[in-house]
Chains A and B, each alone.
Chain A
Amino acid sequence: MYVAVKGGEKAIHNSVQLLGDVRRGDSSVPELQTNQIEQQLRLAVAKVMNEGALYDPMLASLAIKQASGDLLEACFLLRAYRTTLSRMGYSLPIDTHGMRIQRRISATFKDLPGGQVLGATYDYTQRLLDFSLLDKHQPEQLELSQDNAEAMESILAVFDQENLLESDLPLEGDPDPKDITREPIHFPADRPTRLQNLVRSDEGFLLGMAYSTQRGYGHTHPFAAEIRFGFVNVVIKPDELDFCIDIGEIEVTECQMINQFAGSKDIPPQFTRGYGLVFGHQERKAMAMSLVDRSLRAKELGESIESPAQMEEFVLSHSDSLESSGFVQHLKLPHYVDFQSELELVRRLRQKASEVDHNE
């Protein structure tokens, strides 16, 4: 006799217990500490802070530990935590011109004031697995001073003197940007709104979209004018006080792409910009963001919209990993009622079709 299955609650409880066990792994192996993640997996921490939309390396490390290293799951944890935080106010815009540089390169100029500062990057390594990392080892004490970090003028300010590059001006009237976490996006969306969406977008998705623009699905010929990574100060100016207060510093990566532009009947030929800005050290993401930013400016620059990376609604509606992951994975939820309806329909249609066959 069929008895309806009950016990969903117990099943969930057991699953969660099991997860805790599996996450810990072999208990003879030392437990992972969040400060180890923060120090030694800093690029994972950067990604999680950025797509989790919350700058807090300790919390991001905790999320990574809790998520067993699933970075999208960790982003979700951080975003959900962010929702519970009360909002004190807004800082002043960060000043990336005044960034204390840890790394600064330009592909458009062989040399530039301040020089090419390579910093610490995987770019110049050879991708050979280093088996010596399997053992613990004492690192050499390097003589390099961390105090090298100093401000450098942006190359674009210098380049701009010939007026070959479009100005980077705010929108007319310099309105406050919309906060996409407080108001839903409407299409068509202005550039500040689009950029907000792109900052927190999934790196993989954005990378694919950016790549497509380089392969003919878009018209831009991009050059990396400048990529910089370093420390910027966060400054607030409370209503009650008449002066600014420095509340700390964060690390950001900024990418300025310049693109060839043939001009239109209204605008003379000049170079146009694409911009990327992210928390932490994430050049790939900042670069992808700047390519897609430029691509989405197609309408404003009078370019015909033919490729997915130029389609604002397509890009911005599918860029958030929480949304895409949630909806793709929701297919695991019970759908037997909808399926039942479909079953019933297909059976009837087949029955009807076979009746027709008989009659022929």
Chain B
Amino acid sequence: MSDELNTTSSHSGFNFAYLDEQTKRMIRKALLKAVAIPGHQVPFASKEMPLPYGWGTGGIQVTASIIGRDDTLKVIDQGSDDTVNAVNIRKFFQKTTGVQTTENTEEASLIQTRHRIPEFPLKEGQIMVYQVPVPEPLQRLEPRETETRKMHALADYGLMHVKLYEDITHFGKITSTYDYPVLVDHRYLSAPSPIPKFDNPKLHQSKALHLFGAGREKRIYAIPPYTDVDSLGFEDHPFELQRWDQACALCGSKDTFLDEVITNDEGGHLFVCSDTNHCQRSQKNGAVHDS
């Protein structure tokens, strides 16, 4: 197999995108089956990566298995391109692939994300890769995989419905605000990763492909484009979107997800867009500054 020797990237002495060819193939196989069975968690033999388990190794392995020289990569964490985790992961891929990177959502062909979906609408051909800490939506209700596997096999999600119902009884509303469970293609209960529920609607009939990687828990799953994704709710307590009374202090937006920033030691605070790239572009387009 002499052409195996051609695989090293001149940058770092490692294979292109770090992973060896056999590992990539193993992950790719899992990805294809995941796309064929939307929302179903496919087990895979996760590898130790240069970042710790729990810090995005699943997302990194998925990206590393699919990325090519023609891709343009964007990496975000909590909506920002500049947090240390996003910077670290972007540098990892720059070092091991030499691929073009960007902060602009619409220029990216591949977007790896932790906990947010960009505000700018995704388009056909784009691929989102999610870092997932807990792929099993039922884990906090039933930690044993031997049991949850059976529930998924039988589409028996009574446990989750009971939990949501109990929330309503105690608090008057469903209290999940992130990683809000969804039903994919009317069949599999899935964890959309800890994105705020505000982002859930973006998954429904999306133009892009959504791939989910959980390295520590060793699961991969997928939501193809143009797939029905329904956030759980009841007829009399349907799924509710988050709303803010405030607007973004930097660009004035009233329809994006806002982060709270503490500004002084008297508890003063203001709100700014979580999606930093979107905010910067809105500002450039002449939105209002707050001073």
Interface residues of A (CB under 8 A from B): 1-2, 4-9, 11-12, 76, 79-80, 82-84, 86, 180-184, 186-188, 313, 317, 322-323, 325-330, 333-338, 340-345, 349, 352
* The one of A1, A79, A326, A337 that contacts B196, using a Cβ cutoff of 8 Å: A337
Establish whether residues A342 and B177, one from each chain, have CB atoms under 8 Å apart when the complex forms. Answer: yes
Q: State the interface size on chain B (CB cutoff 8 A).
A: 71
* The one of A84, A325, A343 that contacts B52, using a Cβ cutoff of 8 Å: A325
Among the stretches B42-50, B122-130, B157-165, B221-229, the one at the interface with A is B42-50
Establish whether residues B194 and A330, one from each chain, have CB atoms under 8 Å apart when the complex forms. Answer: no
Q: How far is the CB of A350 from chain B (nearest CB, A)?
A: 11
Establish whether residues B260 and A340, one from each chain, have CB atoms under 8 Å apart when the complex forms. Answer: yes
Q: How far is the CB of A60 from chain B (nearest CB, A)?
A: 15
Establish whether residues A2 and B261, one from each chain, have CB atoms under 8 Å apart when the complex forms. Answer: yes
* Residues of B contacting A333 in the complex (Cβ-Cβ under 8 angstroms): 55, 77, 85, 114
Establish whether residues A84 and B177, one from each chain, have CB atoms under 8 Å apart when the complex forms. Answer: no
Digit string of B248-274 for contact with A (CB within 8 Å is 1, else 0)?
011000000111110100000010101
Establish whether residues A326 and B83, one from each chain, have CB atoms under 8 Å apart when the complex forms. Answer: no
Q: How far is the CB of A5 from chain B (nearest CB, A)?
A: 8
**B6 within 8 Å of A (CB atoms):** no
**B291 within 8 Å of A (CB atoms):** yes
Interface of B is mostly: loop
Given contacts A82-B48, A83-B49, contact A1 B291 (CB under 8 A): yes
Q: How far is the CB of B136 from chain A (nearest CB, A)?
A: 12
Interface of A is mostly: helix
Q: How far is the CB of A231 from chain B (nearest CB, A)?
A: 28
Q: Beyond the given A2-B272, A83-B19, A335-B194, could you list 6 further A-B residue pairs with CB under 8 A, ordered by the A residue number? A: A4-B279, A12-B87, A313-B145, A325-B52, A330-B52, A342-B177
Establish whether residues A2 and B250, one from each chain, have CB atoms under 8 Å apart when the complex forms. Answer: yes
The CB with the most chain A CB atoms within 10 A, among B177, B216, B272, is that of B177
* Residues of B contacting A82 in the complex (Cβ-Cβ under 8 angstroms): 48
Establish whether residues A12 and B84, one from each chain, have CB atoms under 8 Å apart when the complex forms. Answer: yes
* The one of B44, B55, B78, B198 that contacts A184, using a Cβ cutoff of 8 Å: B44
**B185 within 8 Å of A (CB atoms):** no
A-B contact pairs, 27 of them (CB 8 A): A2-B261, A7-B82, A8-B83, A9-B87, A9-B91, A76-B48, A76-B52, A83-B47, A84-B14, A84-B15, A86-B20, A181-B45, A182-B26, A183-B45, A187-B146, A313-B143, A313-B145, A335-B78, A335-B115, A337-B196, A337-B257, A337-B274, A340-B260, A341-B177, A344-B242, A345-B177, A349-B175
CB-contacts of B98-112 with A (<8 A): none
Given contacts A338-B115, A341-B197, contact A329 B54 (CB under 8 A): yes
**B74 within 8 Å of A (CB atoms):** no
Considering only CB atoms, which chain B residue lies closest to A348 in the complex? B173
CB-contacts of B18-56 with A (<8 A): 18-20, 23, 26, 43-50, 52-55
* The one of B14, B43, B82 that contacts A186, using a Cβ cutoff of 8 Å: B43
Establish whether residues A337 and B259, one from each chain, have CB atoms under 8 Å apart when the complex forms. Answer: yes
* The one of A79, A326, A345 that contacts B55, using a Cβ cutoff of 8 Å: A326
* Residues of B contacting A184 in the complex (Cβ-Cβ under 8 angstroms): 43-46, 218
* Residues of A contacting B260 in the complex (Cβ-Cβ under 8 angstroms): 336, 340, 343
**B284 within 8 Å of A (CB atoms):** no
The CB with the most chain B CB atoms within 10 A, among A2, A313, A317, A338, is that of A2
Roughly how many angstroms separate A333 CA and B52 CA in the complex, as a whole number? 12
Given contacts A84-B20, A340-B260, A341-B178, contact A323 B216 (CB under 8 A): yes
Digit string of B52-85 for contact with A (CB within 8 Å is 1, else 0)?
1111010000000000000000000111001111
